[in-house]
Amino acid sequence: MTDATLAVQGLTHDFGQRRALDDVSFEVRPGRLTGFVGANGAGKTTTMRAIVGVLRPDAGTVTFGGASMTLEVRRRIGYMPEERGLYPKMKVAEQLVYLARVLGVTKDDAQARAASLLEGLDLAERRDDLLHTLSLGNQQRVQVAAALIHEPDLLILDEPFSGLDPIAMDAMAERLRDRAAAGVPVLFSSHQLDLVERLCDDLVVIHHGRVVAAGDARALREQRAGRRYRVDVGGTDAWMPALAGMTVVGSGPEGTLVDLDESADPQALLAAAQAAGPVEHFARTVPSLAELFAEVVR
């Protein structure tokens, strides 16, 4: 496959009178982690279900590497549904082997992969326990293993981090990075914006069924950054520059925030700051993902 990009094009879906998805379009590029953020009920899960073919949207198309999502293509997706789903009364390893075989993996391969995944997730000694005897966190790890068991070409993970402790979260992030590095497009939704910010290469923000921002995460934030600078002059708590085209929007122990209009030169601000004392910090501020999110969904 030369271009393993997942393309979502114009997805629209109604639940009765309510429009759940409204012309949703975005791409998930190979080798990149794409974070999918939005408030509860914004349409994340519906979009993911439409991608994996569990839900048939009223309109719109999904393609993977240019091909439509036939059964053969869908069987190459690693999917983790929002509400976790495994057989509670089946043994952990047996369950993984069964799912792998349903997805077309041979019995020997399935057993080998189940063993190595469980090993990697620190669950090797629980392999013959019934799933429902495991703690929720451990069940969650088995769910991760279930999504990875057939070495999928595409990962669609709905809230993969919810319910994980910080250590498991790091392990999970590591795993997703691995898969992305292997060239697999990874789409995952999360409410934990700091985590998404730290992890993601690309971002899709959805609000009330519409995509309000999509693309390279860094670029999106830069775009919204504007011309706000933070200046921290050592020794002064409240340095208040009075320069043409500049407005002080706040000051505090972290320094002074200054908005520059189109004509103002940031270098003039720096020069003024240096004249006032030793400059400890001078930079354009980029909004955090939380700020960006708050802004785009407003």
Partner 1 sequence: MSTPRTALVRLVAGREISVKLRDKGFLASTAVFIAIIVLAVVVPVMLEGDTPEYTVAATGHAGAVAEVAVELGGAEVPGLPAADITVIGLEDPTAGAGGDPVDEAFLRGADAVLSSDPDGTVVITAQENVPGDLEELIAAASSAVTAQDVAVEAGLSADQLAALTSPPQPRIDLLDPKPSLPVPPELVIVIFGFLFYFTVLTFGASIAQSVVEEKTSRVVEILVAAVPVRWLLAGKVLGNAAMALGQVVLIVGAGLVGAQAIGEGDIVAQVLGVSGWFLAFFVLGFLMLACLWAVAGSLASRIEELQSTTLYMQLAVMTPFFSAILIRDEGPARVALSYFPLTAPLMMPARVATGDAAAWEPWVAMVIVSATAVLLIGVGARLYSGSVLNTSTRTRLGGAWAAGGRA
Residues that bind partner 1 (CB under 8 A): 49, 52-56, 71-72, 74-75, 77, 79, 81, 83-90, 98-99, 101-104, 146
**CB-wise, 75 or 230, nearer to partner 1?**
75
**CB-wise, 53 or 163, nearer to partner 1?**
53
Min. distance of Cβ 82 from partner 1 in angstroms?
9
CB 256, CB 279: distance < 8 Å: no
Min. distance of Cβ 236 from partner 1 in angstroms?
59
Min. distance of Cβ 286 from partner 1 in angstroms?
38
**CB-wise, 95 or 251, nearer to partner 1?**
95
Min. distance of Cβ 131 from partner 1 in angstroms?
9
Q: Rounded CA gap, 43 and 137, in Å?
A: 25
Residue 36: beta bridge partners?
189, 204
Distance of CA 15 to the CA centre of its chain: 25
**CB-wise, 92 or 199, nearer to partner 1?**
92
**CB-wise, 51 or 292, nearer to partner 1?**
51
Residue with tokens 């292997």: 182
**CB-wise, 68 or 263, nearer to partner 1?**
68
Angle at 49 between CA 38 and CA 208, to 5 degrees: 30
CB 142, CB 86: distance < 8 Å: yes
Min. distance of Cβ 59 from partner 1 in angstroms?
13
Q: Is the dihedral angle over the CA atoms 258, 259, 264, 267 positive or is it negative?
A: positive
CB 203, CB 214: distance < 8 Å: yes
What 8-state DSSP symbol labels residue 227?
A: T
Min. distance of Cβ 269 from partner 1 in angstroms?
55
**CB-wise, 90 or 171, nearer to partner 1?**
90
CB atoms within 10 A of CB 138: 18
Closest C-alpha among 198, 195, 255 to residue 229: 255
Residue 210: beta bridge partners?
207
Min. distance of Cβ 146 from partner 1 in angstroms?
7
